[in-house]
Amino acid sequence: MSVTIEAQLKSDYKGPLRDTIPALQELVTENYDTLSRGQIIDGGDIIGTLAEKIERLDVSDTSETESFEGVATSTARIRVHPYKYFKSLPQTIKIPMENETGDCCPTVLMHELPSVQLAASWNQLFFEPDIKPTLLRFVTSICKSSHV
């Protein structure tokens, strides 16, 4: 059994993302028997130092069970993926094509990811349900490596 927690940090949190991982793992260990797949925990429901850092937690797992009740935390693998949305405005960049000069270049709208402007987009993606956790872990890993 493994547990994955997607932790959205508050936009005003200034510390390194990795500094939140031990406290989040402890939170999961202490509340392991009350967690269930798909559960969303609002940051206002979190007590302690994490309350100042966390906007919300999304709980997912890779097991076949609907809840973690009766599973020993010592045998579980706990993974925590903290992330924070950027509030930067999208930028328009010009892409010069071969043999083009001047201002007639095609443009692309670029967002710094994960962007707050795209926050609501996740639930509008149409993929097989099994790919969403993998896709989120992939994107989170990219974001982690860009902040280290």
Average pLDDT over residues 130-140: 77
What per-residue confidence (pLDDT) applies to 62? 47
* Phi and psi angles of residue 55, each rounded to the nearest 5 degrees, phi first: -85, -45
Domain extents in the chain: 2-147
What per-residue confidence (pLDDT) applies to 35? 76
pTM here is: 0.53
Question: Percentage of the chain with pLDDT > 90?
Answer: 0
Mean of the per-residue pLDDT values of the chain: 70
Greater confidence (32 vs 25) lies with 25
Please count the residues of the chain: 148
Greater confidence (100 vs 44) lies with 44
Cis geometry, peptide bond prior to residue 96 (ω within 30 degrees of 0): no
> How would you classify the pairing of strands 40-42 and 91-94?
unpaired
What per-residue confidence (pLDDT) applies to 87? 65
Question: Percentage of the chain with pLDDT > 70?
Answer: 53
Whether pLDDT at 131 is above 60:
yes
- Tell me the residue type at 104: C
What per-residue confidence (pLDDT) applies to 119? 62
Q: Which of 8-12, 63-67, 114-118 has the highest mean pLDDT?
A: 8-12
Segment 28-80, tens digit of pLDDT: 878 777 777 778 888 888 877 888 888 888 887 645 455 555 555 555 677 77
CA distance 130 to 13: 31
